[in-house]
Amino acid sequence: MIVQRWRRPAWAGVFTFAVVFVAWYVLTTLTQTISPGRFPPPGEAWDALKQIAVTGYADARLSEHVLHSVKLVLLGFTAATVIGVPLGLAMGASRAFEAFVNPAFLLIRPIPPLAWIPLAIVWLGLGDAAKVLIIWFAAFVPAVINSYGGVRAIEPHLIEAARMLGVSRRMAVREVLIPGALPMIFTGLRLSLQACWTTLVAGELIGAIAGLGHVLYQASLDIFPAMIVVGMAAVAVTGALMTMLLGWLERRSMPWRT
Amino acid sequence: MRRHIAAIAAAITLGIATTAAHAQQPTEIKISYQPALYWALPFYVAEQKGWYAELGLKPTFSTFPAGVPQIAASASKSWDVGGTGSVPATLGAVRYNLLTIGITNDESYGNALLATAKTAEGFMKNPASIKGQTIVLTANSTGDYAVQSCLAKWGLKKADVTIKSMGQAEIISAMSSGNADLGGLWAPNTYTMEEKAGAKQICSGQDAGAAVPGALIVRADYAKEQPQNVAKFLAVYLRAWKWLNAHQAEGIAMMKKFYEQGGVSISDASLKKEFDTRPTYDLAGQLKIMQRPAGGASEVDGWFTKIGGFMQANGTFPEAPTASKFITDEYLRMVDADPTLKEFANRTN
């Protein structure tokens, strides 16, 4: 019974966190095997968290930084989803369209999102628009590839059956193509969301006035390891919460899978 | 018996000879700096002239694009001594117990707020119009300190403007491409912006009454282990300034080469301006500005106390460090007390 309880994922997760925390405390505070200059003890990280949450750091409080980053991620992610998913579906559904779009897509695909930063600044200036564009680039590719792959993975007999039943093109898309591709579309969206957060931190390194990437940049300039840990933890927690939200949306969108 | 005595005598002779040879071996010292900066020129000149070797030092140089990575590298003992800005020096004192042992130069004029050609005149005529503008600068740098001092001089607060932080190269790109009208830069980037993009310097640290010194720094553990080497390092640095100030034409030629090696190409007039606007200190001058009256603070203590306050206000650390705890004239006094080093440091040839 006890063994079964410990097998539950939530308990296992709590146990892992507890072990990591104890190891952190023992190594940095109790035995000081790792010096504070290399990795901050929990006490310093707590002080840094209080500083950014209460008095603020890098020109804003933690809540403002988180909201700013979430705003940028949502904008980039939404734009990538709105453009990338239909594009991937269209490429998967139509050989002619794929032949038309794929060469350009294949050229753009290997370019690292961060390589767009200088051009994004020239095109859109130092504001948030340039950052959203970079995030969009990062999220766009997985959204397209997985939507395309989702359509291609639909078993041909389903499409044949729909044709034989005389289903209209629009209905085939709505009833066969999208539901059939949905599992892979969501896999792509999860990858896109992850890419958004990875790129956001890099995008905010230049010319940002708020955001978690800005916090990390400022903390690196201040050689402030405790604040770096707080910034990283904030990115991790916010990113995990958004992934959980996407998971919830996925379950709601595909009730037949639960 | 005779054979034994001969063997012992031979061993002693060999031992003495080896020790003597070992004593003449130059001592390695790891020096760090940032390339293409005025205060780093003495390192280059001294190396070219062979002055380190004259004092038995064998330097290994490491260069860093900015003060922060330079300071961070001290944690892994990547360097022993070096030069840096006063803001990174203060940061290094708090984070890694770095000591400030001298002043490279007074760069109050060289750290400034620049505006693009089309906006400069308007901002100069009416500094209050800077309110609401975006300023691009390198956060927590001497440039940031100078810009914030300028804002304070005009009765503006940091919150009155939007500050965007980026590296010096990105600031030049942003201003040149019309993405920013105001930028905090330090020399020689100020000259690059003036010459290549027509920007104008509208306020410097000097104009705002903010002393912006450059610092000579050492790792505290190295200073404790090798105080004599630290004194020799200072003597070489001071001699290089003496020589540069006495042979300016030749110095400018070397400076041009040194800057070009660091990717900076500016006119001879701007190179000369570096000499004209950035005072340096010889041994006596250094000792004077670092002298603490009984129970009081030195001039340098005062400069760094203000810089510490600026960094505290920026949230870099909760309390500004006490200047007297990380600034010391101990090694300058060692140079002064040693007739050979003193004479060496004051040579103009």
Query: Does the beta carbon of A51 lie under 8 angstroms from any beta carbon of chain B?
Result: yes
Give the 3-state secondary structure of residue A69. Answer: helix
B140: chain A residues, CB-CB within 8 Å = 218, 221-222
pLDDT of residue B266: 87
Does any domain span residue A59? yes
pLDDT of residue B279: 94
A221: chain B residues, CB-CB within 8 Å = 68, 139-140, 165
pLDDT of residue B29: 97
Does any domain span residue A203? yes
* Residue B214 near residue B109 (C-beta atoms within 8 A): no
Give the chain B residue nearest A124 (alpha carbons). B179
Q: Could you say which residues from 122 to 141 on chain A have a Cβ atom under 8 Å away from some Cβ of chain B?
A: 122, 125-126
Query: Does the beta carbon of A206 lie under 8 angstroms from any beta carbon of chain B?
Result: yes
CB contact under 8 A, B174 and A207: yes
Question: Is the confidence at residue A4, as pLDDT, over 60?
Answer: no
How far is residue A100's CA from residue A93's CA, in Å, rounded to a whole number? 13
User: Is B309 exposed, middle or buried, given 0-12, 13-18 or 19+ CB atoms closer than 10 A?
Assistant: exposed
Does any domain span residue A25? no
- If one counts the domains in chain A, the total is 1
Q: Which of B71, B91, B165 sits opposite A217 (nearest CB)?
A: B165
Give the chain A residue nearest B92 (alpha carbons). A223
CB contact under 8 A, B163 and A209: yes
CB neighbours of A190 closer than 8 A, spacing ≥ 6?
A243, A246, A247
How far does B104 lie from chain A, in Å, by closest CA?
Answer: 22
Name the residue range of residue A158's domain.
40-257
Give the chain A residue nearest B315 (alpha carbons). A57
Does any domain span residue A196? yes
How far does A156 lie from chain B, in Å, by closest CA?
Answer: 53
Handedness of CA B32, B37, B42, B48 (dihedral sign): positive
Does any domain span residue A30? no
Does any domain span residue A33? no
What CATH number corresponds to the domain at position A212?
Answer: 1.10.3720.10
Does any domain span residue A10? no
Does any domain span residue A5? no
B177: chain A residues, CB-CB within 8 Å = 121-122
What's the whole-model pTM score?
A: 0.79
How far is residue A178's CA from residue A41's CA, in Å, rounded to a whole number? 50
Cα–Cα nearest to B240, from B29, B99, B52: B52
Query: Does the beta carbon of A183 lie under 8 angstroms from any beta carbon of chain B?
Result: no
pLDDT of residue A235: 95
Give the chain B residue nearest A50 (alpha carbons). B318
Residue that wins the pLDDT comparison between A139 and B197 = A139
- 10-residue block means of pLDDT along chain B (349 residues)? 57 50 77 95 97 96 92 94 96 95 95 95 95 92 94 94 89 89 94 90 95 96 97 98 95 95 88 92 96 92 96 90 96 97 95
pLDDT of residue A191: 95
CB contact under 8 A, A223 and B91: yes
pLDDT tens for A149-203 read 999 999 888 888 888 888 888 888 888 889 999 999 999 999 999 999 989 888 8
ipTM comes to 0.75
